């Protein structure tokens, strides 16, 4: 067991931050949270249990000393539920086109490079380092069609101690010849990745059709079958851009909506499913997402950068649809979930303004909840400070921001809006302190 002391801030529910000044959090050797409170749990042991141990010093030695982070903040680490590792080189670039021409012009040519394992190592090493740097301890990641490169990505994540679902991308139409895999290959490689990674570690496989326009009926069907047979989760894209939605209507005339196309293939909540973007989901699609427990992964920076639009997150929440957040690099330009929290709130404020105040905007605690506990549910008990949860946490030194008697409530707001990776001093994933990965 280890015991940490710091200013604890977390969101067990979206409504508000739970805050304990100089609180204690006890963590088992397996990395699970045992207790969270105002008192040192060792000092709270009953007299009986105290007496059963010879001395207090021995208690401390056997149960772990208190590691005191002083006046620093301790918060749940971030969970990024949608991003593309092979697009890391393109961060901050190539944002002068909408989604479909952007894919063809900038993104597919970059992803083709991952046939070269040396190139993949160079880029994926930096990608994993940045996940660590930004305090993102869990992520749902798109790789490419290349098995070796995707296995390498998974290995680098494991080496860093990070948690992730990693997807071998399946795509066999409407992309360059060199960036297509056959249905057989995609199924084979997805199974190979799953078997390599197994189910007991922090890094696992996820079924990853790129999106409907990239996958023939045959491929989508086969992916749905292995998702069900192997009980693998699914990730893809949904209703991101108007032209894309029109295209899907032509490609899938039998589907009642874009989401229904996935649904017909067993790729829409039959196993846990992430759908990125959802800027334009109609009532049918929303009903299907709610009924099937599909997650909307809100990627606001990407939706701005690719001029896609603004996802109406408040309406999804009101309707009981699960929502998580994603950086979606390189449609999104930056891998910090702090920025995504800001943009999620800001986007909801434009919906508020454009609805003349009818649609309430997201509060800070709601958006933080989406980036921690809500996204964390995809990985198990992750993203909150509650007994039984994985201890995924960040130690934040905001002393340079804290020059004028700020409350802890104010300090978390300032860290989210003004802070950055410089302020994150210690990172824990499943109880383990993660050292900086080499680049």
351-390 binders of its own copies (CB under 8 A): 352-354, 356, 361, 363-364
> Which range binds its own copies by CB under 8 A, 49-57, 91-99, 100-108, 189-197?
91-99
Choices 57-65, 284-292, 316-324, 415-423 (CB under 8 A): range interacting with its own copies? 415-423
Tokens 């139409």 belong to 173
- 91 interacts with its own copies by CB under 8 A: yes
Site for its own copies in 323-352 (CB under 8 A): 333-334, 342, 345-347, 349-350, 352
Q: What gap in Å lies between CA 362 and CA 281, rounded to an integer?
A: 19
Report yes or no: 161 and 203 within 8 Å, Cβ to Cβ. Answer: no
Cα distance between residue 423 and residue 71, in whole Å: 13
One character per residue 219-248, x = contact with its own copies (rule: CB under 8 A): -----------------------x------
Residues in Cβ contact with 140 at an 8 Å cutoff, skipping those fewer than 6 apart:
80, 81, 82, 83, 164, 165, 167, 206, 235, 274, 297, 326, 378
The reply on whether position 307 binds its own copies by CB under 8 A is yes
Among the listed residues 126, 286, 314, 427, the single contact to its own copies using CB under 8 A:
126
Distances (CA, A) of 338 to 247, 258, 343, 389: 34, 30, 9, 22
Rounded to an integer, what distance in angstroms lies between the CA atom of residue 203 and that of residue 210?
A: 20
Task: Compare residues 138 and 333 and give the one whose CB is closer to its own copies.
Answer: 333
Phi-psi region of 26 (alpha: psi -120 to 50; beta: other; left: phi over 0): beta
Size of the site for its own copies (CB under 8 A): 46
User: Which of residues 61 and 93 has its CB atom nearest to its own copies in the complex?
Assistant: 93
Min separation Cβ 12 and its own copies, Å: 20
Q: Which of 165, 265, 256 is nearest to 212 (CA)?
A: 265
Nearest distance, CB of residue 414 and its own copies, angstroms: 4
Q: Which of 308, 311, 374, 384 binds its own copies (CB under 8 A)?
A: 308
Q: From the CB of 47, what's the least distance to its own copies, in Å?
A: 46
Q: Is 96 in the site for its own copies (CB under 8 A)?
A: yes
The one-character DSSP state at 333 is S
- How open is the CA angle 279-284-288, to the nearest 5 degrees? 90
Any contact of residue 283 with its own copies (CB under 8 A)? no
Does 48 bind its own copies (CB under 8 A)? Our answer is no
Q: Are 55 and 62 in contact (CB under 8 A)?
A: no
Give the binding site for its own copies (CB under 8 A): 89, 91-93, 95-96, 122-123, 126, 242, 301, 304-310, 333-334, 342, 345-347, 349-350, 352-354, 356, 361, 363-364, 401, 403-404, 406, 410, 413-418, 420, 422
């Amino acid at each position: 067991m280890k015991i940490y002391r710091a200013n604890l801030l977390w969101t067990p529910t979206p409504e508000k931050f739970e805050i304990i000044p100089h609180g204690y959090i006890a963590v088992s050797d397996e990395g699970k949270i045992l207790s969270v409170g105002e008192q040192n749990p060792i000092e709270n042991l009953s007299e009986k249990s105290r007496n059963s141990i010879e001395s207090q010093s021995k208690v401390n030695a056997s149960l772990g000393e208190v590691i005191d982070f002083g006046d620093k903040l301790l918060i749940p680490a971030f969970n990024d539920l949608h991003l593309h590792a092979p697009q890391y080189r393109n961060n901050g670039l190539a944002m002068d086109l909408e989604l479909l021409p952007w894919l063809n012009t900038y993104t597919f040519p970059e992803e083709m490079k991952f046939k070269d394992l040396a190139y993949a190592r160079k880029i994926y090493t930096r990608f994993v380092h940045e996940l660590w740097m930004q305090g993102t301890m869990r992520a749902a990641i798109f790789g490419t069609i290349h098995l070796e490169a995707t296995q390498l990505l998974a290995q680098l994540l494991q080496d860093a101690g990070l948690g992730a679902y990693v997807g071998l991308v399946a795509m066999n139409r409407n992309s360059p010849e060199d960036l297509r895999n056959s249905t057989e290959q995609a199924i084979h490689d997805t199974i190979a990745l799953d078997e390599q990674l197994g189910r007991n570690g922090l890094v696992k496989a996820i079924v990853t059709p790129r999106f409907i326009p990239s996958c023939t009926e045959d491929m989508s069907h086969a992916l749905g079958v292995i998702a069900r047979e192997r009980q693998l989760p699914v990730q893809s894209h949904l209703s991101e851009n108007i032209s894309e939605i029109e295209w899907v209507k032509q490609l899938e005339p039998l589907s009642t909506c874009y989401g229904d196309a996935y649904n017909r293939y067993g790729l829409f909540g039959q196993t846990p499913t992430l759908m990125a973007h959802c800027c334009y989901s109609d009532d049918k699609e929303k009903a299907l997402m709610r009924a099937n427990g599909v997650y909307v992964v809100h990627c606001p920076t990407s939706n701005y950068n690719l001029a896609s639009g603004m996802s109406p997150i408040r309406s999804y929440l009101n309707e009981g649809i699960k929502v998580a957040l994603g950086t979606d690099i390189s449609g999104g330009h930056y891998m910090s979930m702090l920025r995504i929290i800001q943009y999620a709130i800001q986007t909801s404020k434009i919906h508020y303004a454009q609805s003349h105040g009818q649609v309430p905007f997201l509060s800070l605690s709601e958006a933080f909840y989406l980036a921690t506990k809500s996204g964390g549910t995809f990985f198990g008990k992750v993203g909150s400070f509650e007994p039984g949860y994985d201890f995924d946490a960040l130690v934040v030194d905001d002393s340079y921001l804290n020059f004028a008697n700020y409350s802890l409530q104010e300090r978390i707001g300032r860290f989210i809006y003004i802070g950055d990776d410089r302020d994150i001093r210690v990172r824990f994933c499943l109880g383990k302190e993660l050292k900086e990965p080499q680049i």
